[in-house]
Amino acid sequence: MSENHIPAWKRIALNKQTLKSENKFKEQSQSNVLDDDPLNITTHLSTGNLTKKEKKRIINGENKSSIKKGKRVSKPGTKKKEKLSKEEKNSKKNKILKDQLRYLIEFFRTKSESKFPTPILELESVKENYGDSLTNDESAESGVVEVWKFSKQKQNWLIKHFFNLDEIPSVYNDLLLLYFKDLQGRSKDELISKCQEKLKQWNDYVEDQETKIKALIEEEKPSEPVDCEKTEEGKKAVDAVKEEQKEEQKEEQKEIQMPNKELVQRSLKLLKIWTNDDSEQIELKNFSVNV
């Protein structure tokens, strides 16, 4: 027997091993082809449990192995935004002019023949957005007539924030009152009742202060102690007096808050514009109107 002779049983085992390796290689190559094929989608994109990135990868025909997550590198020349200080934030905020206030300014500019109030011209927001155009009559020189457009949405905002000095500062009073001069309907009635309520709050506050001042001046004496015998009726009378004193102290502790004087003044001026002979007037006590 020669040295190169291989027994039959060994040849059969070698053949089986080679067949297995060939089949395994074919399966791997076939699976790679299927993974790379963008049309080979086992689940529907709309109904399958796939993320947006996975759907995009399948459509573009990309492999999971080919996608590598890397650190985001900032572009050269780009810098992180520095946080502004409080002063810078406030100055930036003061330069912003709300659309509703711009709407008031444009109304006054086109409907009124009088000059703009000086406090408005001195506002940073007005200077930033209008410059010197409010003091100079550019339309007369150029011959262009500006047209003001009514906005129901902006009017509703002005009505809603009529008593909010943060949204509509007191320097806009002249513009605001001129705008509401011709207001009609339900909005006017609601605004009248709210203005009257504001005036009533002021009068209630003044009355409360006057009552407290009178009490201090007169120096009211405390009620005399009840002379009673050591009986059940006497004890009940003493307890009743104590309860009354406690209630009086509670009432005295309740303080009526002073309403904002600028809002009271705004309400008073608007009611004077709308005053009719038949309308009910509310007079303010100890109130001086600032001109």
DSSP helix/strand/coil, 112:
coil
pLDDT digits (tens, 9 = 90+) for 3-30: 566 777 777 777 777 777 777 766 666 6
* d(C-alpha 202, C-alpha 258), whole Å: 7
Q: The pTM is what?
A: 0.61
Among 255, 254, 246, 245, residue whose Cα is nearest residue 222: 245
Give the model's pLDDT for residue 77. Answer: 60
pLDDT at 221: 55
Residue with tokens 């209008």: 130
Helix (H) or strand (E) holding 36: helix 8-36
The answer to whether 157 and 163 have CB atoms below 8 angstroms apart is no
pLDDT at 291: 47
- Contact between 168 and 162 under an 8 Å Cβ cutoff? The reply is yes
The pLDDT assigned to 177 comes to 95
Angle between the N-to-C axes of helices 99-111 and 173-180, in degrees from 0 to 180, rounded to the nearest 10: 70
CA atoms within 13 A on the CB side of 205: 16
> pLDDT below 70 — which residues of the chain?
1-5, 25-49, 63-81, 137-146, 219-236, 238, 241-242, 245-254, 276-281, 289-291
pLDDT at 126: 93
The pLDDT score that the predictor gives to residue 259 is 93
pLDDT of res. 200: 94
Residue 120: count other Cβ atoms within 10 Å of its Cβ. 21
Task: Give the per-residue pLDDT at 155.
Answer: 96
Q: Hey, where are the domains in the chain?
A: 8-60, 96-180, 193-221+230-273
Q: Which residues make Cβ contacts (< 8 Å) with residue 109, sequence separation at least 6? A: 116, 134, 146, 148
For residue range 150-182, what is the model confidence (pLDDT) as tens digits?
Answer: 999 999 999 999 999 999 999 999 999 999 999
Inter-CA distances, 291 with 167, 190, 269, Å: 22, 26, 11
